Chains A and B, each alone.
Chain A
Amino acid sequence: MADLTLRGVKKAYGSLNILHGIDLDIKSGEFIVFVGPSGCGKSTLLRSIAGLEEITGGTLEIAGEKVNDVPPSKRGIAMVFQSYALYPHMTVYDNMAFGMKIAKEKKEEIDRRVKQAAEILQLTKYLDRLPKAMSGGQRQRVAIGRAIVRNPKVFLFDEPLSNLDAALRVATRIEIAKLKESMPNTTMIYVTHDQVEAMTLADRIVVLKDGRVEQVGSPMELYKRPGNLFVAQFIGSPAMNILPGKIEKAGAQTGVSHIGGKAVVPIATPASAQGAEISFGVRPEDLYVAKGANSLFEGKVDYIEQLGEVQLVYLDIGRGIELPLIAKLPGNASVERGATMRLDADAGDLHIFDASGSSFVKHTPEAKAA
């Protein structure tokens, strides 16, 4: 009912291009998260959907209607800002009622909807307060309440948790997830640079870089089968280990040599890729201490970061690699600095990317729309 369709959406400030043609289909009721590094255009894209920025190319449809030139208030959207953007001279009640008052709705209707939203967000006893008399988390709840009162088809969140402290961030994140559950038909688009928020909240994640979509997919899909090097390194913490390598034997199972040794990866490669230069990747958490004679890597423990639950082991495998290999091992494993260590990983957890950075795993259309 409130599908969003973006076709070749472009945004330029003069000669400076911010968005280079974004294509995206968002289904009604989906929770979509835009992630990407600073300056990737994720906020600009959100503001373009809101109508706060005019797009300079392409079409934007909400619920089947082209809204390129429709003012923000007529698009059926509501937005929650990072800085809350509460009207400081109005009480919580007036903040939440502002939009409906502007629309000249009936007083009883305004009262009913504001009270209802306040009930959902447990703000009822704060309705007479001014924003300055509230904590950061409460203010953000008021901002969300203001959005709920508008009864929008699409909710837009622009880094709503960035201004909260760590504990409050977790609590509010869960509140947002519950809010989404209680409104299954409302589409939500959420911008963040925090991958934990992206992984926990999203139905689908849109990874953006330099104004282009790098990959769209469910959180686990992005984690398990990143479409390219950028997504591979952006999702997951610490980032995936990437080593230069070469395809020794192409086929249904690919034989790879990398600077740490050799491996067989269960990913099909075309015969034309025989001998191609590739990037070989493995996530730190997929590495474990080798049990048998076979191992993926062997090196000297350079540094250990003990986090209690896990420890991050920095392994110097030599051979001219600048960055050490990082392995996430259980916290109770006995590792000694300076000791030689052999690490292994399951074949299914290995990743290979071609010279342009794309994964050899071809994404089927079904996977893309999942």
Chain B
Amino acid sequence: MAQASGNSAGKSSFGRWGVHLAVLFFVAIWTIPTLGILVTSLRDKDQIITSGWWNSFFSSSQTQAGRLGAAAGQQERDGKFVIEGNIFETPGASTVSAFGTRSAAPTQYPAGTAADLGDGETLQVNADGSYIHSSTKKFEGERGQRVYYSSTVPPKFTTENYYNVLTSENVGRSFLNSLTVTIPATIIPIMIAAFAAYALAWMRFPGRAILIAVIIGLLVVPLQMALIPLLEMYNGVGNLFGVPSKTYLGIWLAHTGFGLPFAIYLLRSYMAGLPRELMESARIDGASDFEIFMKIVLPLSFPVLASFAIFQFLWVWNDLLVAMVFLGTDQEHLVLTGRLNALLGSRGGDWEILTTSAFITIILPLIVFFSLQRYFVRGLLAGSVKGG
């Protein structure tokens, strides 16, 4: 008996560990790339190329090429011609570990040693970047000796990428465009759907069941199928009133239309689950349907309104297709997803631009999610009916 209970306890604790491990796994899968984007977007653009973001907190070693001073700067000393200087523009920013004069062997000589370049010519590059280039013959030529060196650069973080991206790459403008699209396209369907959901859940009128069935049916209409006919219709109506075809109003209406079936379905299911006695009690207290909706149903539906707001916000924010069709791709109207797409084409190799733009794109959905996620917990109904 004791052994059996011990076994079952062990099993459940094993199960709990399994759940924990699985959660940990998914958290890691989600977090690590996000962290990578964040870290990369904050790094110096030269360092991004030489090392991965996971090395960004350590000094990186990179091989660079430079040129020594030209012959014009030579001095004659003890019968030798000497050129002195520092290969770094700002001495002390990094340290030289090795150097060379041929691109095939860029780290041939350790720093601080004098390398014999033949023909009586020597070169010594010290760790701090200072060098002494001497020769028994007089230096000639306009350009200095080519030199390769391996230097160790300390990690360097900067917000410069964000500044660049927001100002010169028009990402800031697109961010505002996306906000202009997303906020009304989230609020309008919630408002319409809440009223509709209450009526479909709690008011009796002929044709109610058919209306619900139609709305459920609309859930499965593919967006791609409806997109172009919808644009045609919108343009037709727009022409009648002299409204241009690509406006914010157009995309708000489009997103509202595509979001409504799901919104009504989700909200109706929730509202229909509210205890009937609450509505009846309010009705005995003299409340009209509108008052019941505003004072009882709406406050109690806040969790589901928040859930839908998250869904709709993310969907509209991440949408590219509807925005392309209803808003166009000109600079005035390009949304963030469209901007990212354009940047991938024009600045495909510039990781600092892409990661920074990507992080700007995901930061708002993250804020929305974390600020509303506590409403997913449906604790608000506790206490209204027995056992709560």
B380 touches A89 (CB 8 A): yes
Contact with B along A118-143 (1 / 0, CB 8 A): 00000000000011111010010000
A87 touches B296 (CB 8 A): yes
A131 touches B384 (CB 8 A): yes
B287 within 8 A of A: yes
Contacts of A73 in B (CB 8 A): 283-287
The complex places the Cα of A150 from the Cα of B284 at a distance, in Å, of 10
Which of A16-24, A55-63, A75-83 lies at the interface? Answer: A75-83
Closest to B287 in A: A102
A103 within 8 A of B: yes
Most buried by A among B277, B285, B386, B388: B285
B285 touches A88 (CB 8 A): no
Instruction: Report how many residues on chain B are interfacial, defined by Cβ distance under 8 Å.
Output: 24
The complex places the Cα of A154 from the Cα of B291 at a distance, in Å, of 24
A84 within 8 A of B: yes
A98 within 8 A of B: yes
Closest to B288 in A: A102
**Interchain Cβ contacts within 8 Å, total number:** 86
- Looking at chain A, what size class is its interface with the partner chain? 20 to 34
The complex places the Cα of A140 from the Cα of B255 at a distance, in Å, of 46
Contacts of B380 in A (CB 8 A): 88-89
Residue of A74, A81, A130, A163 near B383 (CB, 8 A) is A130
Contact with B along A184-227 (1 / 0, CB 8 A): 00000000000000000000000000000000000000000000
Interface residues in B249-263 by Cβ distance below 8 A to A read: none
The complex places the Cα of A307 from the Cα of B291 at a distance, in Å, of 54
Closest to B384 in A: A88
B290 to nearest A CB, angstroms? 11
A85 touches B385 (CB 8 A): yes
A86 touches B384 (CB 8 A): yes
A50 within 8 A of B: yes
A83 touches B284 (CB 8 A): no
Given that A131-B384, A132-B382, A134-B383 are known contacts, is A85 also in contact with B283, CB under 8 Å in the complex?
no
A83 touches B382 (CB 8 A): no
Contact with A along B269-284 (1 / 0, CB 8 A): 0000001011011111
A324 within 8 A of B: no
Given that A52-B280, A139-B383 are known contacts, is A150 also in contact with B275, CB under 8 Å in the complex?
no
Contacts of A88 in B (CB 8 A): 300, 380-384, 388
B254 to nearest A CB, angstroms? 35
A contact residues vs B (CB 8 Å cutoff)? 50-52, 71-74, 77-79, 81-89, 98-99, 102-103, 130-134, 136, 139, 146, 150, 163
Which 9 A-B residue pairings sit nearest by Cβ, starting from the closest? A132-B383, A73-B286, A99-B285, A85-B277, A88-B384, A131-B383, A85-B281, A83-B385, A132-B382
B contact residues vs A (CB 8 Å cutoff)? 275, 277-278, 280-287, 291, 295-296, 299-300, 380-386, 388
Q: Beyond A81-B277, A84-B384, A85-B278: 11 further Cβ-contacts under 8 Å?
A: A73-B283, A73-B285, A79-B281, A83-B277, A84-B277, A85-B275, A85-B384, A87-B278, A89-B300, A98-B295, A99-B286
